[in-house]
Amino acid sequence: MKKQMKWTAAAMAAVMAFSLTACSGGTDSGSTSQASGTAETSSGEKVTIKFANYALLEDAYTEFWEGVKTGFEAENPDITIEWVTAPYADIVSTVTTMAGGGDKVDMIFGEGTWTSSLVDSGLIIPVTDVLSQEYLDGFYENSLEASMVDGEIYTLPMYMSPFILYYNTDILQKAGVESVPTTYDELLAACEKISGMTTEDGNAIYPFGQTTASVAISGSAINSMIFNFGGEVLTADGQLSIDNDGFKQTFEMLKQLDEKGYTPENCKLKDLRNLFALGQLAMYYDQSWGISGVENINPDILSVTASANPLAGGSGEGASLLSTQTLFYCDNGDANRAACAKLTEYLMSDEVLGDYLNNIVPGYPTLKTMSMPDNPVLQGSLGSIDKAVAAPSVPAMNDLNLELCTLAQAVTVTGTDVDTAIEEFRTAATNIIG
Amino acid sequence: MAFSAAKNIRRGRTLTQRQGDTIFSVLLILPTILVTTVFILVPVVDSVIQSFLDYKMKNIISGKPGTWNNFENYIKLFTNSKLGPAILQTFLFCLIVVVAQFILGMALALVLNSNIKCARFFRSIMMTPWCVPTVISALIWMWIFQPQYGLMRYIVSVVTFGQVTDLAMLNSPSTALLGIAIAALWKQVPLSTLLLLAGLQNVPGEIQEAATMDGASARVCFFRITLPYMKSVIKVVLSMAIIENFKQFPLIWTMTGGGPNNATTTLAVLSYREAFVSNNLGSGAAVTTVWMLLMIVVVVVYNKFMGDNETT
Amino acid sequence: MKSVKAAKRLSAFIRYFVLIVILLMLLFPLYWVVLTSFKTNMEAYAYPPTFIAQNPSIQAYINLFTENAEFFVYYKNNLIVSGATAILTTLLAVLGGYVLSRFHYKWNSLVAAILYASQMFPVVSRMISLYGLMGKVHLLNTRTGLTLALLGAMVPFTTMLMSSFFDSIPRDIEEAAIIDGCTRPQVLTRVVLPLVKPGLLSVGIYSFLMTWDDYLHCATLIQSDALRTLSTGIALRYLGELSYDWSLVNTISVVAMLPMILLFFFFQKYMVKGLVAGAVKG
């Protein structure tokens, strides 16, 4: 092995040198095979829908989606659903790399925030290629707005949620907080009362939780908080716009909350759900469906859980970010598209989705014909949906969200001052958006 | 010596025999070369090529080849502020783990090599963490470091007599890298110990005894005789550790994903993120290319440092 | 005389102290995992933690065996993939290693250098190209494709390991066999192979253990849950974004690492020999 060590450097250098010559010499790159698509299927033949779905890997959702497959296949014996799974954070790269290998999925279950980058990658097709305009007319306006790129609807919103404030009624009562905070000032006052309390087995109770760990969804949560303060990250046409009070106030608030020890640091949403489920967190921001994660850990906590509209801060009026859970479509020929349309209509029916929203994943319907959820936990925040706005999206939304997390971490765990951190963010964000 | 033996064999054989041998050996080694070329060399060359191209996920999907973009991937990489810290994190991580691994491994090997009771038994059970898959070891340590109810929080608060009660190893930029390093050490120390122990056992007892007879103290004996004698083993142990930790990925990715505040974003994490999260394959490839160049530098410097006196 | 005794006692004390501290560091985390797997989730979340399960529960194991059938699918896949990779790797390593050890052509050291350098390239840098390659030959999302990719990753090191085993076989035996009229292939299969049996075993087990550890290859090349191997399957399925189930995660860890540990202890003699031979004599 000794001898080889000497050779190694030479060999590696040779590989690099060779690459360089190959590179300058020709245009042949790491091209991959052309997407072959699935075989054309004429009507009457069997169609297989490849459905990429991360939720299948989440315990709380698995049963529902398996039920969809069984129910739909029973109704449509000539269509089969084939699952393609990857975890939440990896599903986009999974379907894109698959497409690169010539294997396109037909449908993807995901988030509205993915739309831009999926459009940019050329993987998905407009929803109007799959479903009729009349059908789309049945959806709420703001849910469709959240699904548009350049005026074209690229994803079908299944259900939606703003980031709402969950709170533990029991803790608030014991702390003597009489009414649920509606502004950030009231939040700080409430936090002061709660701070120092412990659970029965002696664990500290955190007054407030906001996710800042490096996953894209945390970026959306921070974005929502910026909306709370009446600020913005991007202009409507996707330009970086961070020189507004709301933006800065958001991070000053995060810093303040962290310095006073009111929030657990660098948490993912699931960490917050875990703490909340164990009664160690009094209030936190989450999407409506986050509560199923809480329930998974400790169902008993639901009896003391309630929700409230997002807080208002600065000159903001309590707007929040509208998140949608959506369906994306890819083009694998007419037969597959028709099958996707059938599956969509089946999924969006009252019996299937209505049941899902009421019993499994609390969320707000996007179809006007569907009634608002009767989930008791959500009653306090029903009004929030009207004030929720869709964020303008850019292809690099994912990266931008991650940079927002980095900014939040800089002012909290690293302790950088807000102005410096925002300047660092500006450099990084300009690099991403260009 | 081996070489001259081979010469002797060759000399004693006819030309056809030699030719036959050549064909035979080429046939035997062909599958190995083929597999290595197809699965390692070609992809690596391909990746270096991509680093000079505007090559994104959409190229893969549409099947369009990437286009030359005048070193833009590199220009971007060097102008944004991520590369420097990533290089620093990579070297820091590598240094911590390699040094600590060597010290711990050597200490344990020395103890096991002294006439201690049940040395063989200890040697066996010591190896257990090495068999634990990396992802599982990441899970184990994430659980131990869990900020609210983790074991480490408790131990630290007991050891510091309640001074530090809120240790959140992986959530603080100043300790996250250390947390991952501990997990890496846990899995890697056993193997280095095993190899160093084998090296120690190769040191002839007479030499050491002779040294002690001469009145050399144990410490001098260790540094003057034992260590030099083990040079080749040490070299191997260190180079294995350097390579493994320089390219460590699953452990970091599972435990922190590069956070908090990019404190654990090593070159491995940065390239994976650029390529597979930001879907910019060209830019990710540029990171891996820089990474490989650094690897070459490390190997060259390491060889210089360890002295390349061939014994063959 | 007394001081010598005291010094001896002191050195013994230090030695046992070092031994105990390091062993504790290495082994206590394992105890902790096993312990947590027997706790209920609520007890696992208790702080300060309990060092002996208050209400030992095998519920997590029951859940694993009754509700998480896919876990055993990952298990089966991993056995198939790692097993196949181990066998193929050993085969290639024997052929290649024999040549490297026995014939000294000019290109030999070049081959060795390539093999050595190959171990250094970061896996991430290969994944995209590998993906395209597998796509072209329609081996994406198949166990065959994964096995081949892993084979590529394992062959360089194991070939060199194997060649060091061949180095330890005296040449005289082969020369004698050739004088007796054996052909080269016969020498290899009838004379040399039986002598390197321990080497075969350690190369096989080594590559089995190493492929059991794979994460990136499977994460990139496999999309269907039914084909995933253990590490990837666990990381992807049980670390969901929605919520944690630490009790289950710890149970899974125990069940996933147990066979590897047993395998190692069972074949310890060969493994230790192999690892030492590969590194020390290389």
Query: CATH second-level architecture of B51-306?
Result: Orthogonal Bundle (1.10)
pLDDT at C68: 76
Domains of chain A: total: 2
| Residues A353 and A421 placed together within one structural domain of the fold | no
Chain A contact probe: residue of C243, C248, C275, C276 with most A CBs at under 10 A = C243
Q: What are the start-end ranges of the E strands in A25-134?
A: 47-53, 79-84, 107-111
Q: Model confidence at A32, in pLDDT bands (50, 70, 90)?
A: very low
pLDDT tens digits along C116-172: 888 888 888 788 778 778 877 888 888 999 999 999 999 998 998 888 888 888 888
pLDDT tier, A2 (very low <50, low <70, confident <90, very high otherwise): very low
pLDDT at A22: 47
What is residue A30's predicted lDDT score, i.e. its pLDDT? 34
C35 touches chain A (CB under 8 A): no
- Intervals of chain B under pLDDT 50: 1-13, 309-312
Q: Exposure of C194 by Cβ count < 10 A (0-12 exposed, 13-18 middle, 19+ buried)?
A: exposed
pLDDT, tens digit (0-9, with 9 covering 90-100), for A252-279 = 999 999 999 999 988 999 889 989 998 9
Q: Do residue B25 and residue C103 have CB atoms under 8 angstroms apart?
A: yes
The verdict on a CB contact (< 8 Å) between B261 and A413 is yes
Separation of CA A357 from chain center: 17
Question: Do A206 and A329 fall within a single domain?
Answer: no
Does A182 lie in the same domain as A304? yes
- ipTM greater than 0.85, yes or no? yes
**Which pLDDT tens digit goes with each residue over B11-63?**
444 556 778 888 888 888 999 999 999 999 999 998 899 899 988 877 777 77
Neighbours of chain A (3+ CB pairs under 8 A): B, C
For residue B146, the chain C residues in CB contact (below 8 A) are 246
Question: C-alpha angle with apex A71: A69 to A73, nearest 5 degrees?
Answer: 65
| C residues 200-219 closer than 8 Å to A (CB) | 219
Look at residue B141 in the predicted model and tell me its pLDDT. Answer: 94
Across the interface, whether the CB atoms of A8 and C116 are under 8 A apart is answered: yes
Closest to A189 in 3D by CA, of A283, A306, A273, A269: A283
Query: Rounded CA gap, B173 and B92, in Å?
Result: 14
Q: Which one-letter amino acid corresponds to residue A144?
A: L
Same domain, A208 and A348: no
Q: Give the whole-angstrom CA distance, residue A222 versus residue A251.
A: 9
Is residue A332, in this structure, part of any structural domain at all?
yes
For A101, phi then psi, to 5°, come to -80, 5
Whole-number pLDDT of residue A295: 87
Q: Specify if A27 maps to a domain.
A: no
Sequence-distant (6+) residues with CB within 8 A of B225 are B203, B207, B208, B211, B216
What secondary structure letter does DSSP report for A309?
A: P
pLDDT above 70 covers a percentage of chain A that reads 89
Q: What percent of chain A has pLDDT over 90?
A: 50
Query: From the list B108, B150, B275, which residue is nearest C22 (CB)?
Result: B108
How many interface pairs between A and B have CB atoms less than 8 angstroms apart?
Answer: 162
Q: Does C114 touch chain A (CB under 8 A)?
A: yes
Does residue A8 sit within a domain?
no
Q: Which amino acid is present at C43?
A: E
Residue of C36, C120, C127 to mutate for B, most B C-beta atoms under 10 A:
C120
Chain A residues within an 8 Å CB radius of B276:
90, 93, 97
Helix axes B176-202, C268-280, angle to 10 degrees: 90
- Residue C68 contacts A where some CB pair is shorter than 8 Å: no
Provide the pLDDT for residue A404: 94
**Is A360 within 8 Å of chain C by CB?**
no
Domain residues for the domain of A307 are 163-321+396-433
> The CATH number of the domain where A225 resides is what?
3.40.190.10
pLDDT tens string C182-224: 888 888 888 888 888 888 988 898 899 889 888 889 988 887 7
- Is pLDDT of A19 > 70? no
In this complex, the residue of B48, B58, B296 whose CB is nearest that of residue A9 is: B296
- Residues 23-82 in C contacting B (C-alpha not used; CB under 8 Å): 23, 25-27, 29-30, 32-33, 36, 44-49
Query: Nearest-CA distance from B62 to chain A in Å?
Result: 7
Cα angle: C227, vertex C30, B194; to 5 degrees: 90
Q: Which residues of C touch A59 (CB under 8 A)?
A: 240, 242-243, 245
The CATH classification of domain C68-280, taken from the options 3.90.1310.10, 1.10.3720.10, 3.40.50.10680, 3.40.50.10470 = 1.10.3720.10
Q: What is the pLDDT of residue A58?
A: 78
On whether both A169 and A233 belong to a single domain, the answer is yes
Collect all residues with Cβ–Cβ distance below 8 Å to B297 and sequence separation of at least 6: none
Whether A34 is covered by a domain: the verdict is: no
Question: Is C123's CB within 8 Å of B247's CB?
Answer: yes
AA identity, residue A364: Y
pLDDT at A13: 57
Annotated domain spans of chain B: 1-48, 51-306
Residue A17 lies in a domain: no
Least confident of A302-316, A381-395, B281-295: A381-395
C17 pLDDT above the threshold of 60: yes
Q: What is the pTM of this model?
A: 0.85
Domain parsing of chain C, residue ranges: 2-37, 68-280
pLDDT in tens, A72-112: 999 999 999 999 888 777 788 788 877 876 778 999 999 88
Task: Give CA B209 to chain center in angstroms.
Answer: 35
Question: pLDDT digits over C5-16, tens only?
Answer: 887 788 888 888
**Whether A416 and A284 share a structural domain:** yes
Residue A97 included in any domain: yes
Cβ–Cβ of C44/B149 closer than 8 Å?
yes
A287-319 in b/e form (b: 16+ CB < 10 A) is bbbbbbbbbbbbeebeeebbbbbbbbbbebebb
Report pLDDT for A172.
95
Q: Cβ contact (<8 Å) for B260 and A6?
A: no
Q: How confident is the model at residue C279, as a pLDDT?
A: 65
Q: How far is B312 from chain A (nearest CA, A)?
A: 9
The whole-angstrom separation of Cα B144 and Cα B141 is 5
Q: Which of A1, A215, A399 sits opposite B236 (nearest CB)?
A: A1
